[in-house]
Structure 1
Amino acid sequence: MSANALFPDAAPWATHALDVGDGHVLQVLEFGRPDGIPALVLHGGPGSGCSPLLRRVFDPARWRVICPDQRGAGSSLPRGCTAHNTTADLLADLRRLREFLAVDRWVVAGGSWGATLALAHVADQPSAVAALLLRASFLARREDIDGFFGPLSLDDRATGLDHAEPAERERTALAWWRHEQMRAGTAGAEPQGDALAAQIDRLRVQAHYLRHGCWLQSPSLLERCEAVPRVPTQLIHARDDRICPPEGAQALQRRLPHARLRWVDDAGHDAGHPAMIAAVMTALASYAEHGHFGEAA
């Protein structure tokens, strides 16, 4: 399957500026059909914002696709802001968003950090989630965070993002971006100008979360899975993911024995890899047609 198999991009049928307090205003876009199956799409990062790819795996004839940019991320304001920006804040925002949109229950889809937040959300509000689709789940364990950075510590990488000299901030962001690309197995165009400024803000939010263990150390994300209800759950993970270790997906399935785990070959941490796109779209089509992802593994 190629990227051409994605559903066509379209303008949102609704755009919201949701004031969540503490000076933060979230951009929330809605796609698909207003009476479709509600789906909450949680982007990765933290700090990345929702990209078109994340919504284009959903059939717009079947789904109501809800895409919030989290605090400090994407087009939410103020971009790159780390004040009043914690996992607890994001969970409160999701409670407020569901009430604002008058959604009773939604399917929650997320990849990487988005999968992390999805699990934390369903543990926080078990009755709000109809199903879970988790790609490249990130467990936010200390070994996951340390393993990503290798011999150069997070503090070493993060300090330059707040340097007084713009050139040093740019140098740090580019080095971090190249490291991510290498670990993810992707090869995007190197950011410049406004795109580089956006990277600096994205990484500032990401560093803020990782420095604090994503506020998911006690209780851990795996421990929070005790509160996850037995709803249809699909885990999709690449066997060669070097950012979110495959062992983490196995640990997660042990905590969620009702979940299906589908392995994808050679996709790394690339959400846009054809095999990963195919796996995600197959899962969504199954749920839209049957109300489940198939039999539990």
Structure 2
Amino acid sequence: MSRVLFPNIAVYHQEWLDVGDGHQLYIEQSGNPNGIAVVYLHGGPGGGSSKNHRRYFDPEKYRIILFDQRGCGRSKPSPSLNDNTPHHLVADLEVIRKHLSISRWLVSGGSWGTTLALLYGIKYPQAILGFILRGIFLGTKAEYNWLYNASGAASFFPEYYREFTEQVANINNVSVLQGYYDVLTGPNEIAAIAASKAWCLWELRLSTLAPHSPAEIQDDDYPHRALCMAKISSHYFVNHCFIDEGEILASIDNIKDIPAIILHGRYDMVCPLHSADKLVQHWPSAQLQILPQAGHSGFELQTIDGFCKAADTMANFIAEQSVE
């Protein structure tokens, strides 16, 4: 029987945590305060958390922690590129764990959140109970070239790619990615807002097998979320994600004994499946579940079913380990 998201539940605690460098992170907790601690890492970079992310987890079994990474969402200031690299985000995550008095936690996330989860685990393996990761992104040049060069995802969505590139058509002698970054960080705020909407629409169109309704990008907060996502993502990608090429796979031995369930849509057009397949070849404790009728979105039916079941599997495994 296919699983659905757990009912929407209230947050029992929220706060803004000062992590230095002028940044305050929005953090919320829900579920069982005495349950298994799980943190969900949102995508992007710069995407922000969603109330639906907490609905992957049984609120009776889990103490569910969501937060907005520095510079985006409800964190302050937002959007902000200042002192915003994976190294800062990994350090922030460890500050949160210690602030919440958590000895070890289950680390989960989607898309860019998987990159951050892996980097965090590589540096702090002793803090990890396990991983649930959806839509693997390893932060390599090939992966963001797939998204923003004409020979990648554009070959499947040529009309959408033409529309995407129109925003930077008048910027000469630079790549599409560099052109977007220049507009998004430039002095023309109107142009930056238009570019951010085009950036997010391009990814949204690639994210799911089911067509999106225009209503999905009409909520009041959408312009701010789009600007955070586009500005921070382009900042990361023009800087090669601030990590060395192949760094994650080269360091995967640090977490080789930590159990992981990896979910990846067969038809993921944002983060192609080969990255997940390559990852599990290097990670003996990771189990890859290919979702045969899913794309990249975390909220397609098969992805919801797979994630909720993975969360239950991990809860049972962690409970058994604690008894032993």
Whether these two folds match at TM > 0.5 is yes
Q: Shift of the alpha carbon at 1:6?
A: 1.2
Q: Which residue of 1 aligns with 2:278?
A: 251
Q: What is residue 173 of structure 1 aligned with on the other side?
A: 196
The answer as to whether partners of 2:44 and 2:111 remain within 8 angstroms in 1 is: yes
Please tell me the residue identity of whatever aligns with 1:126.
P
Q: Describe how 1:21-170 pairs up with structure 2 within 5 A.
A: 21-151=20-150, 153-170=176-193
CA distance in 1, matches of 2:268, 2:279: 15
Alpha-carbon deviation of 1:94?
A: 1.2
Q: Distance in 2 between matches of 1:265 and 1:218?
A: 29
Please say which of residues 195-204 and 53-62 is displaced more in the overlay. Answer: 195-204
Q: Secondary structure at the match of 1:252?
A: helix
Where does residue 226 of structure 1 map in the other structure?
253
Alignment correspondent of 2:156:
none
Q: Structure 1 residue 169: deviation in Å?
A: 1.6
Q: Could you say what the CA RMSD is over the residues aligned between the two structures, in angstroms?
A: 1.9
Cα distance between partner residues in 1 of 2:124 and 2:199? 34
Residue of structure 2 in register with 1:267 after alignment: 294
Q: Percent identity?
A: 32
Q: Equivalents in 2 of 1:77, 1:220: separation in Å?
A: 30
Greater Cα offset, 217-226 or 204-213 = 217-226
Aligned to 1:206: 233
Give the 3 Å change call, closer, same or farther, for CA 292–261 of structure 1 in structure 2: farther
Q: TM-score, normalised by structure 1?
A: 0.93
The question of 1:215 aligning with 2:272 is answered no
How many pairs does the alignment contain?
292
Structure 1 residue 289: Cα displacement: 2.3
Three-state SS of the structure 2 residue aligned to 1:291 is: helix
* Cross-structure match for 1:290: 317
User: 1:188-199 maps to which residues of 2 (within 5 A)?
Assistant: 188=213, 189-191=216-218, 194-199=221-226
Separation of aligned partners in 2, 1:280 and 1:292: 18
Q: Are the aligned partners of 2:267 and 2:294 in contact in 1 as well (CA < 8 Å)?
A: yes
For residue 194 of structure 1, report the CA deviation from its aligned partner: 4.2
* Aligned amino acid, residue 117 of structure 1: L
Q: Tell me, what secondary structure is at the counterpart of 1:13? A: strand
Give, in angstroms, the shift of residue 192 of structure 1.
Answer: 6.6
Read off the aligned partner of 1:139 and give its amino acid letter: L
- Which amino acid in structure 2 is aligned with residue 155 of structure 1? Q
Instruction: Name the CA distance, whole Å, in 1 between partners of 2:289 and 2:232.
Output: 30
Shift of 1:251: 0.5
CA deviation string 1:79-127 (max 9, x = no partner):
1100111111111111111111110000000110001100001101010
CA shift at 1:240, angstroms? 0.8
TM-score by length of 2: 0.85
Structure with higher Rg: it is: 2
Tell me how far apart the structure 1 counterparts of residues 237 and 95 of structure 2 sit (CA, whole Å): 25
Task: Tell me how far 1:17 sits from its aligned partner.
Answer: 1.2
Runs of 4+ in 1 over 6 A off after TM superposition: none
What pairs up with 1:230-241 in 2 under 5 angstroms? Answer: 230-241=257-268
| Contact 1:232–1:292 (Cα < 8 Å) also in 2 | no
Q: Tell me the SS of whatever aligns to 1:133.
A: strand
Contact 2:36/2:105 (8 A) holds in 1: yes
Determine the C-alpha separation between the residues in 2 that align with 1:275 and 1:237: 10
Supply the AA of the counterpart residue of 1:176. Answer: W
Q: Any conservation in 2 of the 1:126–1:229 contact (CA below 8 Å)?
A: no
Cα distance in 1 for residues equivalent to 2:14 and 2:67:
10
Instruction: Specify the code of the residue in structure 1 equivalent to 2:286.
Output: A
Unaligned runs of 5+ in 2: 151-164, 166-175
Contact 1:136 1:269 in 2 (8 A): yes
Measured against aligned partners, the alpha-carbon deviations of 1:208-260 in whole angstroms (never above 9, x if no partner) come to 11111212225611112121141221111011111111010110001102211
Deviations 1:252-273 (A, max 9, x none): 0011022111010221111110
